């Protein structure tokens, strides 16, 4: 739940930064929601891939320790 809130706060914070720098913001609520959904999907995909890579590394370390303990 905390990650969900942090994601939305980050998205809206980046929106404020974009607005301050002169970047055009979505003109309609629907367009804004669509961009928010695409951004959340991208964040979820990156998080999934990074977490998967870290899990594989952790799994390999545990397997190596277990094999050294068994031998």
Q: Which residues contact 19 (CB under 8 A, 6 or more apart)?
A: 25
pLDDT of residue 44: 80
pLDDT of residue 7: 74
Does the pTM of the predicted model rise above 0.75? no
pLDDT of residue 23: 64
Across 17-34, b (16+ Cβ under 10 Å) vs e yields eeeeeeeeeeeeeeeeee
> Are 3 and 40 in contact, with CB atoms under 8 Å apart?
no
Q: Angle of helix 29-70 relative to helix 2-20, nearest 10 degrees?
A: 130
């Amino acid at each position: 739940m905390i990650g969900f809130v942090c994601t939305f706060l980050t998205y809206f914070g980046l929106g404020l930064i974009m607005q301050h720098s002169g970047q055009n913001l979505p003109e309609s609520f629907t367009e804004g929601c669509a961009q928010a959904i695409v951004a959340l999907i991208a964040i979820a995909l990156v998080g999934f891939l990074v977490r998967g890579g870290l899990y594989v590394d952790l799994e390999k370390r545990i397997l190596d320790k277990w094999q050294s303990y068994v031998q």
